[in-house]
Amino acid sequence: MWTALNLSAADDSNLTGADPRRPQELDHRSLKVSIIVALGVMITLGNVAVLLVITSSVAGWSRNSRYLLLSLTAADSAFALLVMPLNLWVSLLKDYTEGPDVLCHLVAFCNATVYSTCMYTLATISLERYVAVLYPLQYSTLLTRRRTLLLIAFAWGFPPCLLSPITFPDSIIEVHFSAASLVCNPSYSTNMGYSLSLTCFIFFPCSLVMTYANLRVWCAAKMQRLRLRQYDCARRSRHNVASRVLVPVMAAYYACWTPCMAVMIYNAVTGSTVPEWVEFVVVWLPTSNGFLNCIFYFWINRSFRRKFHLVLQRLTLALCPKLADALGCCSAAETQFVSGIMDNNNSVHERSASVSSTCTLLSLA
């Protein structure tokens, strides 16, 4: 009798299309969606605060630096405003048993393009800092406004051209929706040559440029500190800003991007897949770099924090004057006066910083 009941229950489940693993998959899916949404909110809030500040002038930041940092902020914001909503939308509409379709190809193309643009932008920022520190006298000649904009255009224009085959459903690149990572991914295991070419044209060149440029800047900063110690100026010198910024930037970059690239190469070479949660973590880990960039590139900078406090005071005075009075914020006239002083003194700060770095590097030479 119990056997008959079990058989009838199995028949009912087969007729209704029920899957005994479905509740567990739904539990995992809800947890994954919560993690993705929380990460998206953090990235959005961090980059909105950055946009509020760098759209205006910040003391000590050149025009080229602001252009590049705006490009980085836009690329990081695309994680939360484009990549995450598209993949969550597909995960809600698409059944796990369905095959590849046009929508999944377009979403996979957007994912790969945003990821690649972010890496190219990080490499461009490292290159600009390398020129600014090691070649300060030739900076205005080597990195003109036109060349900076061309570098930004390359970072945004080259990845779509390189990844355009992903958009065609009938091309050599197969795309499928992964229930493990809730992402539309190219099937790298069936296209080993193309997946390896992606890493060779995107990840490895960007990593090489970032590593070399930041290592040279760090060595120059270390040599400067050794020079200052010889003249007993170490106490009056600033803290080791190079180690405090460059080391976390490179550590965060490799920690976020290397696992994803390693799994991609592993899938292409072996033709097998990794466990479910490993795939989820390594696929979404690069998006967390969009939040970490806000910390390492912006919040560590004292001028940025001061300008953010000023912008926050302006917004508080404009939106809620009573709350501003209760918090003891300065008046609108005082805020405008301080803002005018900071904005007008930006060129002075940039000139003094440039002269100081130039004299130091000349003494090193």
CA distance readout (Å), 9 to 3, 5, 12, 21, 334: 10, 6, 5, 15, 76
Reduce the DSSP state of residue 1 to 3 states and report it. Answer: coil
The distance of Cα 5 from the centroid of its chain, to the nearest Å, equals: 55
Q: pTM of the predicted model, to two decimals?
A: 0.76
pLDDT recorded at residue 60: 66
Domains of the chain, by residue range, sit at: 25-306
pLDDT the model gives residue 190: 62
Q: Say which residues have a Cβ less than 8 Å from residue 291's Cβ, sequence separation at least 6.
A: 39, 42, 43, 46, 76
> What is the structure's pLDDT at 328?
55
Superfamily per CATH, domain 25-306: Rhodopsin 7-helix transmembrane proteins (1.20.1070.10)
Residue 132's contacts (CB-CB under 8 Å, 6 or more residues apart) are 62, 65, 139, 143, 357
Q: What 8-state DSSP symbol labels residue 101?
A: -
- The pLDDT value given to residue 152: 95
pLDDT score at 51: 83
pLDDT value of position 36: 92
| Per-residue pLDDT tens listing for the chain (365 residues) | 334 434 333 444 344 444 444 554 555 788 889 999 999 999 998 888 888 787 776 666 778 888 998 999 999 999 999 999 999 888 887 655 455 578 888 998 999 999 999 999 999 999 998 998 889 888 889 989 999 999 999 999 999 998 888 887 776 777 888 888 888 887 766 666 666 777 788 889 999 999 999 999 888 888 877 777 766 554 554 555 566 678 888 888 999 999 988 888 888 778 778 888 898 999 999 998 888 888 877 777 777 778 777 877 777 776 666 655 555 554 444 444 344 434 444 444 443 344 344 333 333 33
